[in-house]
């Protein structure tokens, strides 16, 4: 039987609502969407590039808490408030992947929590021995 395991780390912002930072099921981890909230201050950082960078750092911390990492990401979804920010978000996002980047979708949305400019969610594998 596969066990559904909630993931939590203080290195990423606390959930704003009734959801987990991530859920691990077997060798897969599914993150909640992360926006550019600094986990220390609890405040949204300023600017699209800074929000993208902080969201990626938050995701990295969550994945590490699950026994995974950015190199293990297989799929991401990026939500942007303005598709005109695509090139900027793409540049910052891409800097976090040294090798082949994961599959990705990017969509423009009407509004994000806290009026963030970008939100990112991920699906990753957990390597053998990762967090077990």
In the chain, where the domains are located: 28-125
Between residues 1 and 37, which one has the greater pLDDT? 37
Position 35 scores a pLDDT of: 98
State the average pLDDT over residues 11-30: 95
Q: What is the mean pLDDT of residues 91-109?
A: 96
Mean predicted confidence (pLDDT) in 14-36: 95
Q: Which superfamily, per CATH, for 28-125?
A: RutC-like (3.30.1330.40)
Indicate if the pLDDT at residue 98 is higher than 70: yes
For the beta sheet containing 28-31, the strands, ordered from the edge strand earlier in sequence to the opposite edge, are 4-7, 22-25, 28-31, 118-125, 73-80, 103-108
Token digits for 111? 């509004």
Of the pLDDT bands very low, low, confident and very high (cuts 50, 70, 90), residue 131 is: low
Residue burial 96-108, b: 16+ Cβ < 10 Å; e: rest: beeeeeeeeebee
- Kindly tell me if the per-residue pLDDT of 102 is higher than 60: yes
From 113, 132, 129, select the one nearest 121 (Cα to Cα): 113
CA distances from 78 to 3, 38, 41, 54, 67 (A): 28, 18, 24, 14, 22
Question: Distance between CA 92 and CA 87 in Å, rounded?
Answer: 9
* Backbone dihedral region for residue 47 (phi beyond 0: left; psi -120 to 50: alpha; all else: beta): left
Q: What is the pLDDT of residues 111-126, one digit of tens each?
A: 999 999 999 999 999 9
How many residues are recorded in the chain? Answer: 132
Predicted pLDDT of residue 1: 54
Q: Residue 132: is its pLDDT beyond 70?
A: no
Residue 112 Cα to chain centre, angstroms? 14
- Of 67, 65, 25, 56, the closest CA to residue 122 belongs to 56
């Amino acid at each position: 039987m596969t066990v559904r395991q909630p993931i939590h780390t203080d290195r990423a912002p606390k959930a704003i609502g009734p959801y987990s930072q991530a859920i691990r099921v077997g060798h897969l981890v599914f993150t909640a969407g992360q926006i550019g909230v600094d986990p220390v201050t609890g405040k949204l950082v300023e600017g699209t590039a800074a929000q993208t960078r902080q969201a990626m750092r938050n995701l990295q911390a969550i994945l590490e808490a699950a026994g995974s990492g950015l190199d293990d990401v297989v799929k991401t979804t990026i939500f942007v408030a303005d598709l005109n920010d695509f090139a900027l978000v793409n540049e910052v996002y891409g800097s976090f992947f040294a090798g082949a980047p994961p599959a990705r979708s990017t969509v423009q949305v009407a509004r994000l929590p806290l009026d963030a400019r970008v939100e990112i969610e991920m699906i990753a594998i957990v390597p053998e021995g990762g967090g077990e």
